[in-house]
Copies of this chain bind each other. A is one copy, B any other.
């Protein structure tokens, strides 16, 4: 009779172990715009991260979820936060937004006011932190790859990125400074001041090298 208890104990042990592993598994939601929407496709930065996790044998430690939608601005993230992020119970939320907030000003007349960007950004971060998840912030990278500050949106991208940097420092939040990474890369590799083709294929969206650069930087931040 008493031996019959062993299978049950084993099952319980297994469940405990699994739940322990489960507890240790980081669920990371990538929350952003078209760059992130493309990130989950083959060769995208989230796909590259998944490959790295797989080759490291760490699939039981990470679960990556893409939550990027093309054309999104900070307002849109705020609107779909509950449904697309909080309801997934993430451990970490990577917020990468800002390109459209700046770009749509000249493209459509529907960009985001500088002061409103900060207000909505802060409200978004607070709601995520209140839910107990860790936040990682990412600065908008580029609209045009010249490194002499002559891409038309450079002034505003710097302005909005400066806000994110200061906010991250103030609130002691992890930051992946993609804007700085991309600029440094262009300074080293773009002597001809090409507009695109180094880290992007169209001035904004990541090519193979760009996806790898971003994947590497985020890998550092989530470990």
Contacts and interface: CB of A to CB of B under 8 A. Distances in A.
A61 interface: no
Nearest to A163: B150
Contacts of A112: 110
Interface in A150-184: 150-159, 162
A148 B162 contact: yes
A contact face: mostly helix, strand, loop, or mixed: helix
A105 interface: yes
A156 B162 contact: no
Nearest to A73: B116
Interface string A93-129: 0000000000011101111111010011001000000
A78 interface: yes
B120 A110 contact: no
A105 B110 contact: yes
Contact of A109 (B109, B150, B151, B162): B109
Number of copies: 4
A150 B123 contact: no
Contacts of A158: 148-150, 154
A28 B75 CA distance: 27
Contact of A106 (B76, B105, B120): B105
A79 interface: yes
A159 B106 CA distance: 15
Nearest to A105: B109
A155 B149 contact: yes
Contacts of A111: 109-110
Interface of A: 75-76, 78-79, 104-106, 108-114, 116, 119-120, 123, 148-159, 162
